[in-house]
């Protein structure tokens, strides 16, 4: 296989932004003549997540996996764990090298420089995930909102936005490479453009970026990854309504349905304000998919608070719900709050709200039983092709006798009902 010293592998945990960071490193190394392999690499990079205690545990497990699969490799630990807990990561991971989230260039220079080559800077472009079908375009990084439970501002505080012209060029390159869906991604996407010093003359904002991307000829599908509820503008909704290739999907973190808990979390909205945002969306786009994140077991969350969250979830009827048991981080304010909830109670509440979320997802998807949806075929599992609709739910298509369908195709199909086994 040639020079074994030029073989590398990357193991990625966590969010889509982390996946984009890993893809950037991979692209730069491949551009310098290195080759990605699944096992027996000379370099194994573990791009970590530390957003919860579970994520840190999974990072440790991933390091062990990288060591098993690449016994002679130098292990590089990057990402949120060393960024947030440098000493802990160095003490408990036994890796050879450690880098923080914004040190991707240093990782590339280390590995390329080990072969005596000219050091290269990683190219700042979008990343392809999967089989070059969905193109995750990282246009923003950094968050300074400092919600009391969240570790992200402590590891990704520096605000950065990608210039619109550069983003458009990357979209064009992605389409030429075969991408069928562009997903605009960022740590705090609604803050796109806010890092610019000359704010008076700054024309960079999310809506301007979206307009520029929608103007790219031959764009099959566009999607936003996530927005804060207070960042959904009427202008943005109008763009979704008027452009058939702009997916009517909104991921809007809720976190809690109790105003008391929302205030303690440092969230910039009330429960009623959140409801009004959803009403605005559904008034303009009646079938729009709205998904959310929920944190259960936040310190001081009473049964009354939890009931308020349940009531709000029932009222809104989300298309998808991500439930996270509260996880404490010593750096965050919430770790010092009194009335920490017992883990057994947190698990109990999480199970209750997950069941409610699944029921809500079924109810939403049943609206489409007699409707056609556009499906982007992504993979084949158990005799069926699986793809995502514009509303972000999975749709199975029988593979037997269906020779015209393949991964990467955009097809119009009626959903076959709900298939929980394909649910992410």
Can you give the CATH number for the domain in which 413 is found? Answer: 2.40.50
Position 134 in a domain: yes
Q: What angle do CA 370, 373, 377 make, to 5 degrees?
A: 130
Same domain flag for 225 and 298: no
**Of 219, 247, 275, which residue sits at a domain end?**
247
Position 414 in a domain: yes
Position 30 in a domain: yes
Same domain flag for 276 and 382: no
pLDDT digits (tens, 9 = 90+) for 157-206: 889 999 999 999 999 999 998 999 999 999 999 999 988 765 554 557 99
Same domain flag for 270 and 356: yes
Same domain flag for 282 and 364: yes
Position 120 in a domain: no
The answer on pLDDT for 416 being more than 70 is no
Q: What's residue 117's pLDDT?
A: 67
Widest Cα–Cα separation across the chain: 64
Same domain flag for 67 and 129: no
Same domain flag for 106 and 137: no
Q: What's residue 124's pLDDT?
A: 43
The answer on pLDDT for 258 being more than 90 is yes
Report the C-alpha gap between 318 and 358 in whole angstroms.
Answer: 9
Q: For 204-212, what is the mean pLDDT?
A: 94
Nearest CA-CA partner of 381 in 394, 390, 371: 394
Q: What's residue 406's pLDDT?
A: 82
Position 206 in a domain: yes
Region at 195 (left for phi over 0; alpha for psi -120 to 50; beta for the rest): alpha
Position 119 in a domain: no
Domain hosting 291: range is 249-368
Same domain flag for 199 and 285: no
Report the C-alpha gap between 213 and 222 in whole angstroms.
Answer: 8
Q: What's residue 402's pLDDT?
A: 63
Report the C-alpha gap between 318 and 362 in whole angstroms.
Answer: 10
Report the C-alpha gap between 198 and 261 in whole angstroms.
Answer: 36
Can you give the CATH number for the domain in which 306 is found? Answer: 3.30.750.200
Same domain flag for 381 and 348: no
pLDDT digits (tens, 9 = 90+) for 331-384: 899 999 999 999 999 999 999 999 999 999 999 999 998 888 999 998 888 778
Same domain flag for 269 and 258: yes
Q: What's residue 203's pLDDT?
A: 59
Report the C-alpha gap between 4 and 41 in whole angstroms.
Answer: 7
Position 26 in a domain: yes
Q: What's residue 397's pLDDT?
A: 82
What is the count of structural domains for the chain?
4
pTM above 0.85, yes or no: yes
Same domain flag for 236 and 195: yes
Beta bridge partners of 45: 10, 76
Can you give the CATH number for the domain in which 199 is found? Answer: 3.30.750.210
Same domain flag for 305 and 410: no
Position 347 in a domain: yes
pLDDT digits (tens, 9 = 90+) for 58-104: 999 999 999 999 999 999 999 999 998 888 888 877 899 999 988 89
Report the C-alpha gap between 300 and 289 in whole angstroms.
Answer: 31
**Of 113, 140, 155, which residue sits at a domain end?**
113
Same domain flag for 338 and 373: no
**Of 213, 247, 281, which residue sits at a domain end?**
247
Can you give the CATH number for the domain in which 43 is found? Answer: 3.40.50.12160
The answer on pLDDT for 329 being more than 90 is no
Decide if 353 contacts 296 (C-beta within 8 A): yes
Report the C-alpha gap between 257 and 271 in whole angstroms.
Answer: 6
């Amino acid at each position: 296989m040639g020079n074994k010293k030029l073989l590398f592998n990357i193991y990625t945990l966590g969010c889509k932004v982390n996946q984009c960071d890993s893809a950037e490193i991979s692209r730069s190394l491949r551009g310098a003549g290195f080759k990605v392999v699944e096992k027996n690499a000379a370099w194994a990079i573990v791009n970590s997540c530390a957003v919860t205690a579970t994520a840190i545990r999974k990072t440790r497990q991933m390091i062990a996996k990288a060591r098993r699969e690449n016994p002679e490799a130098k292990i590089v630990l990057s990402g949120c764990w060393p960024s947030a807990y440098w000493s802990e990561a160095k003490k408990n991971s036994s890796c050879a090298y450690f880098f923080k989230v914004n040190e991707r260039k240093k990782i590339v220079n280390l590995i390329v420089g080990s072969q005596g080559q000219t050091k290269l800077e990683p190219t700042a472009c979008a990343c392809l995930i999967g089989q070059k079908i969905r193109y995750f375009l990282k246009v923003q990084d950094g968050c300074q909102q400092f919600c009391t439970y969240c570790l992200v501002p402590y590891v990704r505080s520096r605000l950065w936005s990608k210039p619109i012209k550069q983003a458009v060029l990357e979209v064009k390159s992605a389409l030429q490479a075969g991408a069928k869906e562009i997903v605009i991604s960022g740590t705090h996407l609604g803050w796109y453009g806010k890092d610019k010093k000359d704010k008076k003359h700054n024309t960079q904002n999310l809506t301007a970026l979206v307009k520029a991307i929608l103007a790219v000829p031959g764009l099959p599908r566009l999607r936003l990854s996530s927005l804060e509820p207070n960042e959904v503008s009427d202008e943005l909704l109008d763009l979704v309504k008027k452009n058939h290739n702009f997916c009517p999907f909104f991921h809007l973190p809720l976190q809690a349905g109790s105003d008391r808990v929302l205030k303690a979390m440092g969230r910039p909205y009330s429960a009623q304000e959140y409801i009004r945002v959803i009403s605005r969306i559904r008034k303009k786009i009646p079938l729009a998919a709205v998904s959310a994140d929920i944190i259960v077991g936040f310190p001081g969350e009473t049964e009354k608070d939890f009931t308020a969250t349940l009531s709000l979830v029932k009222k809104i009827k989300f298309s998808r719900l991500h439930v996270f048991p509260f996880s404490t981080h010593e750096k965050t304010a919430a770790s010092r709050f009194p009335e920490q909830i017992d883990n057994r109670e947190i698990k109990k509440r999480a199970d209750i709200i997950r069941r409610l979320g699944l029921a809500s997802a079924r109810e939403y998807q049943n609206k489409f039983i007699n409707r056609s949806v556009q499906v982007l075929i992504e993979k084949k599992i158990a005799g069926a092709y699986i793809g995502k609709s514009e509303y972000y739910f999975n749709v199975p298509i029988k593979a037997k006798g269906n020779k015209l369908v393949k991964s990467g195709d955009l097809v119009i199909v009626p959903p076959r009902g709900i298939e929980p086994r394909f649910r992410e």
